[in-house]
Structures are given as structure tokens and as C-alpha cells.
């Protein structure tokens, strides 16, 4: 297939869970679609995915791989392993510039471009991200078997985690100079069952999830939780002029109930369109974005 001369009904940018789900809906409507994917799933650091019905505890890469195989089985689907670097309106649709394959054109765009986590700057944290340091208790809390859980504060949102996490284990909050809970918050955390609030600076993370403090203490945990800032993993939405809403962790693409963005003909789903999400939400978002894109092709 000559990509540069093919007129696609829709181009799906991002081939993780939301993008695959959108592509599946469009493929089943027998539309000619192209999926462009750079292989940078947000949860690529995690070994297993949890909370997704029928796939609870399965390797995250296997779920994505099975989804790709299902979508690729439809003969109207084309796939490019690469990145979309620019997109713009062009006639009755959009032209997308690719990093290695020239240009492609589609009548509709579905953005499933995801987000990038900006992690707290603590030595040893990044290499443990998704393995013993997490952000979502619903995704990873149960497997800690009600053991010791440390929260590494990055800002005042640590209070939110501290109130949630006692359902999953014995919680210590390390404020690390990034968060100063007031008396009311301290009382609420004590009532909720938080065991300790430690204001000693955190030097680094060692072993699996051992917090090393400035006073020399080494406190092991079953797992650690923290928040980072979220950034768009792709500039495409901004290039197209999509509007954003501001969430507690960063901006996300504004969409309506059909997952259409503020730019006509551009739909979006997944983590890039939510203040927070998981695999199940991404799949649901992608399905709606795919349906929305198809209906817009039918009804204009």
C-alpha cells in the first residue's frame, strides 16, 4: 500500500490501549484506517496490568500485543511503527507528517497519544517506577498484601494518596519538604489510619522499596507511591489547536461525550484526555472515540 497516496478514512495516532480500541471499532465498520505507533506505552515499565476485566494480572505488554494482533487481522487496517511529528488540516481532512515515512492523509484523526510522567527527583526512584514505586493504588495496591507502604510527597496531593492507601497497607507519609499538612489534615490522616508522618528529607531509594533518610534511617516497604506531573507525550494536539483543561497533575485534551476535541474532525481518547486513568478507562475512551469518528464520517 502506498501510504502517501492512500486516502484513509481515519488515522489513529497512538497504538496502545485507547488507540487499539478506537481502531477496532473503525475496522469493524470496514473503514480504511492507519495506526501510527512509536511503541511507548505509558505502562511499559510495569510487568503486570491489574483491574482490567478478564485480563487482571496479565503482563501489560501481552495485553497490548494481543490487541494489536486482533486489529491487524482486519484487512482495511494499515500500521506504521513510528511517530507522527506534525498534523494540520488539509482539504477535507488532515495531513500527518511521519518521522520516517513521509506524509499521510486521513479524513478524521483519532489522538491516542498518551502522557509522559515527570517523576520526583529522588535518587533510585526512576529505575523502580512501575516495579516497586507506583502512582495508582487501584492498579498496584492489592499485590502489596497489606504490608508497609511509603508515600513520597511531591506536593499537597500526597494528602489524597495518604487518605486512600490505608485500605491497602500500613502507611507512612514522607513529606520530604514538599508538603506541610495542616492540623486538620494531620487529624484526618491519623483518623484514617496513617501510622506516621515523617518530615525527614529522603536521600534515595534502595533495594526494592527501602527509603533512606537524611538521618541515616533505612525503612523498608512492600511498595512506595508518589505523584509526578503529567505532560502530553506528543505535540500533535497542540499543533492542531485542540483546547486543554487543567487537571491536578497537568493539562489534558478537552473532549465532548463523543470524544471529539474542540477541533472538528479530531477525536481523542485515553490518558491524554483524562486527569487520571487506567487500562480499562483507556479502552472505553478509545471505543467511544472510534464510534465518534465513524459517526462523524457518516453524518458529517
Q: Residue 172 is inside which H or E element, if any?
A: strand 170-174
pTM comes to 0.94
Give which of 287, 231, 288 is closest to 257, Cα–Cα: 288
Residues β-bridged to residue 111: 13, 268
Which set of grid coordinates corresponds to residue 136? Answer: 495508582
For residues 48 and 139, give the distance between their C-alpha atoms in angstroms, rounded to a whole number: 9
For residues 115 and 95, give the distance between their C-alpha atoms in angstroms, rounded to a whole number: 23
What is residue 26's predicted lDDT score, i.e. its pLDDT? 98
Over residues 41-66, the pLDDT tens digits come to 888 888 888 989 999 989 989 999 99
Over residues 1-44, the pLDDT tens digits come to 566 567 899 999 999 999 999 999 999 999 999 999 998 888 88
The full length of the chain comes to: 300
For residues 116 and 50, give the distance between their C-alpha atoms in angstroms, rounded to a whole number: 20
Give which of 144, 168, 273 is closest to 220, Cα–Cα: 144
For residues 20 and 35, give the distance between their C-alpha atoms in angstroms, rounded to a whole number: 8
**Does 67 have pLDDT greater than 90?**
yes
For residues 11 and 77, give the distance between their C-alpha atoms in angstroms, rounded to a whole number: 10
Over residues 221-244, the pLDDT tens digits come to 999 999 989 999 999 999 999 999
Q: Residue 268 is inside which H or E element, if any?
A: strand 266-268
Contact between 267 and 293 under an 8 Å Cβ cutoff? The reply is: yes
Which set of grid coordinates corresponds to residue 292? Answer: 465518534
Give which of 273, 267, 292, 270 is closest to 281, Cα–Cα: 270
For residues 151 and 222, give the distance between their C-alpha atoms in angstroms, rounded to a whole number: 11
Helix axes of 17-28 and 279-299: crossing angle, nearest 10 degrees: 40
What is residue 5's predicted lDDT score, i.e. its pLDDT? 61
**Does 101 have pLDDT greater than 80?**
no
| Dihedral angle over CA of 224, 230, 231, 236, nearest 10 | 110
Domains of the chain: 7-117+229-299 (3.50.50.60), 120-226 (3.50.50.60)
Which set of grid coordinates corresponds to residue 54? Answer: 478478564
**Does 274 have pLDDT greater than 60?**
yes
DSSP 66-92: HHHHHHHTSTTEEEEES-EEEEEE-SS
What lies within 8 Å, CB to CB, of 183 at 6+ separation is: none
Please, what is the average pLDDT of the chain?
Answer: 95
Residues β-bridged to residue 7: 105
Amino acid at each position: 500500500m502506498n501510504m502517501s497516496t492512500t486516502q484513509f478514512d481515519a488515522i489513529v495516532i497512538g497504538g496502545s490501549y485507547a488507540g487499539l480500541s478506537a481502531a477496532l471499532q473503525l475496522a469493524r465498520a470496514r473503514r480504511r484506517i492507519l495506526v501510527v505507533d512509536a511503541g511507548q506505552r505509558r505502562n511499559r515499565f510495569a510487568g503486570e496490568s491489574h483491574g482490567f476485566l478478564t485480563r487482571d494480572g496479565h503482563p501489560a505488554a501481552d495485553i497490548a500485543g494481543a490487541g494489536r494482533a486482533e486489529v491487524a487481522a482486519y484487512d482495511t487496517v494499515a500500521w506504521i511503527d513510528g511517530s507522527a511529528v506534525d498534523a494540520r488540516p488539509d482539504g477535507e481532512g488532515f495531513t500527518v507528517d511521519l518521522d520516517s515515512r513521509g506524509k499521510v492523509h486521513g479524513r478524521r484523526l483519532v489522538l491516542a497519544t498518551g502522557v509522559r510522567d515527570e517523576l520526583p527527583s529522588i535518587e533510585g526512584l526512576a529505575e523502580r517506577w512501575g516495579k516497586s514505586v507506583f502512582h495508582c493504588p487501584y492498579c498496584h495496591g492489592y499485590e502489596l498484601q497489606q504490608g508497609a507502604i511509603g508515600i513520597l510527597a511531591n506536593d499537597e496531593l500526597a494528602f489524597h494518596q495518604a487518605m486512600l492507601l490505608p485500605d491497602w497497607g500500613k502507611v507512612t507519609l514522607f513529606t520530604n519538604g514538599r508538603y506541610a499538612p495542616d492540623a486538620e489534615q494531620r487529624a484526618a490522616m491519623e483518623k484514617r489510619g496513617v501510622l506516621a508522618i515523617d518530615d525527614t528529607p529522603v536521600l534515595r531509594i534502595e533495594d526494592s522499596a527501602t527509603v533512606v533518610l537524611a538521618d541515616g534511617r533505612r525503612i523498608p516497604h512492600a511498595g512506595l507511591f508518589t505523584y509526578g506531573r503529567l505532560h502530553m507525550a506528543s505535540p500533535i494536539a497542540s499543533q492542531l489547536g485542540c483546547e486543554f483543561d487543567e487537571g491536578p497533575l497537568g493539562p489534558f485534551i478537552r473532549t465532548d461525550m463523543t470524544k471529539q476535541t474542540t477541533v472538528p474532525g479530531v477525536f481523542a481518547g485515553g490518558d491524554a484526555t483524562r486527569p487520571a486513568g487506567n487500562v480499562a478507562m483507556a479502552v472505553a475512551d478509545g471505543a467511544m472515540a472510534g464510534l465518534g469518528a465513524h459517526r462523524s464520517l457518516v453524518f458529517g
